[in-house]
Amino acid sequence: MSDRELQGRRIIVTGGASGMGEGLVRALPRRGASIISLDLNEDGGERIAQESGAAFIKVDVTDKASVTNAVDQAVARLGGLDVLIHAAGIAPGAKAEDISLEQWHQAMAVNATGTFLTNQAVFPHLKDRGGAILNFASAAGVKGYPNKAAYAAAKGAVVAWTRSIAVEWGCHNIRVNGIAPAIWTPMYDKTRASMTPEELEAHDAALKAAIPLGGKLGDIARDFVPVVAFFASEGAHFITGQIIPVDGGTLMMR
């Protein structure tokens, strides 16, 4: 594909102040897209957007009024909308028996309700001319995630929601897919830094066994951005309702 395959595409990216969302905000303008980044972190979001040739709007993805207002502002600035990339999410951890009700509600609110609200908010802007929604799913939502059961449950909801609206909204030429990434991020660096040498050795051995391609998490720029760019482009116009693992072969979907 051309490195300008997103020329003229108007895209909203949520979670644009960190991690994979930040990587997309930085990379997609270079591929021709006009980007509005949405995040709760105003300082980081503004800085990254300015550095990348994008714009930023603060949003709380768990709050309907905040989401509707931010999306409407973004669409007005962009002069329309072609794609929503919903990357915002959190992954709190705890043993299943120790998960507090507060942590459960938080995981559901950000990951599942945030997907629901952002997708609903862009629907009026896409229904007359079509477009694309890319939600962030997870292998956790397909096969579970021990010690992060609330996160896994929320991502399971994202998977089911994504497939459901792909059917419902297909008549409007809106395609809806989910990305299930296993990508190296700064947050993952912090996780690694918190491990003892023994834990890190065991962790790396497990990754080597679980990831056929390379034995470690993928790189944002090399492995992740090109896939998302394709699914945000017109080249993917006949693909919907899919969960696309970008993970070196860890999750082989059926």
**Mean local confidence (pLDDT), 133-150:** 95
Instruction: Indicate whether 94 pLDDT > 60.
Output: yes
Interacting residues of 203 by C-beta distance below 8 A, sequence separation 6+: 192, 195
188 included as an active-site residue: no
Whats the size of the chain, residue-wise? 254
**Mean local confidence (pLDDT), 244-251:** 96
**Mean local confidence (pLDDT), 90-108:** 95
3-state secondary structure 130-188: CEEEEEECCCHHHHCCCCEHHHHHHHHHHHHHHHHHHHHCHHHCEEEEEEEECECCHHH
Q: Which of 56, 136, 145, 151 is catalytic?
A: 151
Instruction: Indicate whether 2 pLDDT > 60.
Output: no
Per-residue pLDDT of 52-81, as tens digits, reads 999 999 999 999 999 999 999 999 999 999
Selected from 3.20.20.70, 3.30.70.141, 3.40.50.720, 3.40.190.290, the CATH number assigned to the domain covering 10-183+219-245 reads 3.40.50.720
**Pair 13, 85: CB distance under 8 Å:** yes
User: What is the predicted pLDDT for the residue at 86?
Assistant: 98
Domains of the chain, by residue range, sit at 10-183+219-245, 186-217
User: What is the predicted pLDDT for the residue at 191?
Assistant: 84
The pTM for the full model equals 0.95
